[in-house]
């Protein structure tokens, strides 16, 4: 099955199959919140969630890994980085963190919570689309540009009035919304509580990453790196109409907006949602 077939996705949305869509945190570069939730519901997705809870779970795994190892660890949430290291720097492949990406982690959680739903991933880049296409817990993959096309084809309009009840189907009010920014992992996982500042290297842009990997600084114990300039907000399927700086400001403002909202009692302490699931690789 071609998980990336837009026609098939459209047909599935018109069927009686329950559909869930997971949004990469960089969605704000191209879509307005909460309008996007309204548009996705109108398209036929009855569950709309962010990937931020998956990122929180992944952060916990990085904490455990960095506490028990002394060798260099290279972050692996970005499949573009995993591909580049594996093919261009095979000697460093062993240093890639054997931890699921937030996309894969979240899909496992969603499959557990909503076993009857087919899961779609909304991606800002091609590498994540390839990763999602190979993931057993993800049924469909669509990028930002394809979603815009689908919304236009179905003539889905933005809501005329602000709807206060438009919210994600999520598990808690989270801080990992800045994950798609350069350094988002190390910042939200608070890696500085484990390592000294001089032991952490944050890099975005594959040319910069490759330059470092040619001769890694032996003092560095953790490399938090992303393939695209600026991080996922610079992904090839994100808009080019606004600058990386502007995209970053939009995302940080969204985080501030979310922090002002109180966490409902029934959303607290939901790490149990991930209980008995495995988020590491062999």
The reported pLDDT for the residue numbered 50 is 93
Q: Is residue 275 part of a domain?
A: no
Residue 71: pLDDT band by 50, 70, 90 thresholds? very high
CB 3 within 8 A of CB 132: yes
How far is the C-alpha of 148 from the C-alpha of 24, rounded, in Å? 15
Identify whether 276 is part of a domain: no
Cα separation, 34 vs 134, in Å, equals 30
pLDDT at 175: 77
Which helix (H) or strand (E) segment is 153 a member of? helix 144-153
Residue among 58, 40, 61 at smallest CA distance from 49: 40
pLDDT reported for residue 275: 84
pLDDT at res. 162: 67
Structural domain that includes position 49: 6-267
- Furthest C-alpha separation in the chain: 56
Nearest Cα to Cα of residue 54 among 188, 223, 147: 188
The structure tokens listed for 42 are: 């109108």
Residue 101 near residue 79 (C-beta atoms within 8 A): yes
* Beta-bridge mates of residue 280: 99
d(CA 61, CA 45): 30
Give the separation between CA 199 and CA 177, rounded to whole angstroms. 24
Sequence-distant (6+) residues with CB within 8 A of 77 are 55, 58, 101, 102, 179, 185
* Number of domains the chain contains: 1
Structure tokens belonging to residue 54: 């998956």
Residue 281 is assigned to a structural domain of this protein: no
Per-residue confidence (pLDDT) for residue 169, from 0 to 100: 85
- Between CA 191 and CA 199 the distance in angstroms is 10
Residues 6+ apart with CB under 8 A from 67: 194
Q: What is the mean pLDDT of residues 64-88?
A: 97
What's the average model confidence in pLDDT over 99-119?
Answer: 96
Q: Which secondary structure element, helix H or strand E, spans residue 6, and what is its range? A: helix 6-13
In-domain check, residue 280: no
Residue 261 has what pLDDT? 59
Identify the burial level of 35 via C-beta atoms within 10 angstroms of its C-beta, where 0-12 means exposed, 13-18 middle and 19 or more buried: middle
Model confidence band, residue 167 (pLDDT cutoffs 50, 70, 90) = confident
> Can the peptide bond before residue 203 be classed as cis, meaning omega within 30 degrees of 0?
no
Percent of the chain predicted with pLDDT > 90: 78
Distance CA(252)–CA(20), nearest Å, equals 26
Instruction: Give which of 116, 240, 86, 255 is closest to 176, Cα–Cα.
Output: 255
Q: Output the six-digit token pair for 267.
A: 């959303």
What is the pLDDT at residue 267? 53
Place of tokens 């985080």: 255
Distance separating the N- and C-terminal Cα atoms of the chain:
26
Residue 282 lies in a domain: no
Residues facing residue 223 across a β-bridge: 74, 201
Q: How far apart are CA 205 and CA 225, in angstroms?
A: 8
């Amino acid at each position: 099955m071609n998980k990336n077939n837009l026609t098939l996705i459209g047909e599935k949305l018109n069927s009686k199959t329950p559909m869930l869509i997971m949004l990469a945190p960089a969605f704000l570069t191209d879509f307005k919140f909460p309008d996007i939730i309204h548009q996705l519901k109108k398209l036929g997705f009855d569950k709309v969630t962010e990937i931020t809870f998956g990122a929180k779970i992944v952060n916990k795994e990085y904490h455990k890994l960095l506490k028990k190892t002394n060798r260099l660890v290279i972050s692996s949430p970005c499949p573009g980085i995993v591909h580049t290291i594996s093919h261009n720097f095979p000697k460093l492949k062993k240093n890639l963190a054997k931890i699921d990406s937030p996309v894969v982690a979240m899909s496992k959680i969603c499959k557990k919570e909503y076993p009857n739903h087919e899961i779609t991933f909304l991606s800002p880049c091609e590498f994540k689309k390839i990763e999602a296409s190979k993931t057993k817990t993800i049924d469909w993959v669509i990028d930002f540009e394809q979603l815009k096309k689908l919304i236009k084809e179905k003539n889905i309009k933005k809501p005329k009035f602000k709807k206060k009840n438009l919210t994600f189907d999520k598990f808690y009010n989270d801080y990992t919304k800045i994950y798609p920014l350069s350094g988002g992992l190390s910042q939200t996982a608070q890696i500085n509580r484990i390592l000294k500042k001089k032991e952490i290297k944050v890099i975005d842009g594959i040319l910069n990453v490759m330059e470092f990997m040619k001769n890694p600084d032996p003092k560095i114990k953790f490399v938090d790196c992303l393939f695209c300039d600026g991080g996922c907000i610079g992904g090839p399927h994100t808009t080019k109409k606004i600058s990386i700086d502007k995209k970053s400001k939009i995302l940080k403002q969204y985080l501030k907006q979310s922090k002002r909202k109180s966490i409902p009692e029934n959303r607290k302490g939901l790490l149990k949602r991930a209980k008995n699931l495995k988020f590491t690789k062999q």
